[in-house]
Structure 1
Amino acid sequence: MLITEDLQEKLRSASSIRHPFQGDRIWKTVEGGWFIVDEVVGKHEMITYAVALSPTGSITGIEVMEYVESYGYEVAEAQWRQQFTGKSAAHPIKLNKDIQNIGGATLSCKHLTDGVKRVAVFYELALKPLSSAAKVK
C-alpha cells in the first residue's frame, strides 16, 4: 500500500513516531480484519511487532516479533500486551494513561505504545475507508 507523505505526517502527529510507516506489511484477514507488522525504535534497537485488528478497527492482539535490546524484554509478556486488546484509534493509547509502564522498560513501553497508536490511526485514515468502499459495491 502506498503511504503518502500527507498520511505519514498525520501518523507522526498522532503517535510521535518519526520512523516512517511501511505499507508493505499489511494483510487483510479472511474474517475481514487486518494484520499489520511495524517497527519502532526501543532504546537503541528496532522492535518489530504485529497488531491484529478486527474488521471495525479494534485491536484483537499485539505480538512482539523481534526484540534485541538488553533491557525491557518484559514488553513481550502477554500480561503487558493484553492492555491493548479492545482499544482503537478512539482511545488514548497513551503510556501512563490507559497503558501501564514497566519499570526499567520505559522507552520500549513508550515507543511500542506510540507504535500501536500509529497502527490504530492508520486503520482509521487508510484501511477503514477501503473497508467501507468494499461494502458499497
Structure 2
Amino acid sequence: MKFRKLIPVVFSVLFLMSFGIPKTLDKKVDKEVKDVFDITSYNFTNVEVSSNINSQLPSSITNENFFQITAKGAVLGYVYLDKAASKTAQFDYLVIFDKDLKIASTKVLVYREEYGGEIGSRRWLSQFTGKSNKDSLDDIAAISGATISVRSMKSAMSDILESVGILHNKKII
C-alpha cells in the first residue's frame, strides 16, 4: 500500500531529473507545482523553441528551463526556471503560469546573499500573481535593503512575461 503512494512521487522526480532541472531544485519545483495545481502527479513536456525565435525573446527559453505541465491529458500551465542577479551573486527563481498564461506563482528557490533575501517572501512575490504579458509591473513595491534584487526580479519577470506573450502569439504555446 505504501509503495503505491510513492509511485507518483517517484515518477514526478524522474520527470524533473530527466529534463534537466538541477537535482538541488527538483524537490522544490515539484512541491510548488503540486501546491499550485492541487495535484499529486503531472508530466513535464519540453517546449521546443527554434534558435531563430529564441533570438527574438528577451528571456532565453531552453528545454532545461521551460516546460508545459500536463495532468490526465490536459494542459495545466507552464514552468519557467532561471537565475537573476543580486548584488554580488545570482538567485534561482521559479515562475508557474496557468493555462491562460497568467502567473500562478513565483518562488525564489535559492538566494545566495546575506542581504536582500526579503524578495523571497511569499507576500512580496504574491504581487506578481495574476500578471500577464499585458500587465505593467510598475506597481510592484520596492524593498528597503533589496534594491538590486528587486530591480533584477522585476526585470526578469518583465522579460519572461514578454517572452511568453511572443511564444503565444507565434502559437508555440
Q: Which bin holds the TM-score, normalised by the shorter protein?
A: 0.7 to 0.9
Q: Please report how far the alpha carbon of residue 8 of structure 1 lies from its aligned counterpart in structure 2 after TM superposition.
A: 4.0
TM-score (norm 1): 0.78
Aligned pairs, number: 120
Indicate the structure (1 or 2) with the bigger Cα radius of gyration: 2
Give the whole-Å Cα distance in 2 for the aligned partners of 1:35 and 1:127: 15
Counterpart AA for 2:65: R
Matches within 5 A, 1:74-85: 74-85=118-129
Matches within 5 A, 1:19-30: 21-23=60-62, 24-30=64-70
| Paired-residue identity, % | 22
Unaligned ranges ≥5, structure 1: 12-19, 132-137
Q: Please report how far the alpha carbon of residue 67 of structure 1 lies from its aligned counterpart in structure 2 after TM superposition.
A: 0.5
TM-score (norm 2): 0.63
Give the whole-Å Cα distance in 2 for the aligned partners of 1:70 and 1:3: 38
Give the whole-Å Cα distance in 1 for the aligned partners of 2:114 and 2:57: 32
Structure 2 residue aligned with 1:102: 143
Q: Larger relative CO (CA 8 A, sep 6+): 1 or 2?
A: 1
Structure 1 residue aligned with 2:114: 70
Give the whole-Å Cα distance in 1 for the aligned partners of 2:146 and 2:52: 31
CA RMSD, Structure 1 to Structure 2 (Å): 1.9
Deviations 1:95-126 (A, max 9, x none): xx210000000110110111111111111112
Residues 51 and 3 of structure 1: CA distance in aligned 2, closer, same or farther (over 3 Å) = farther
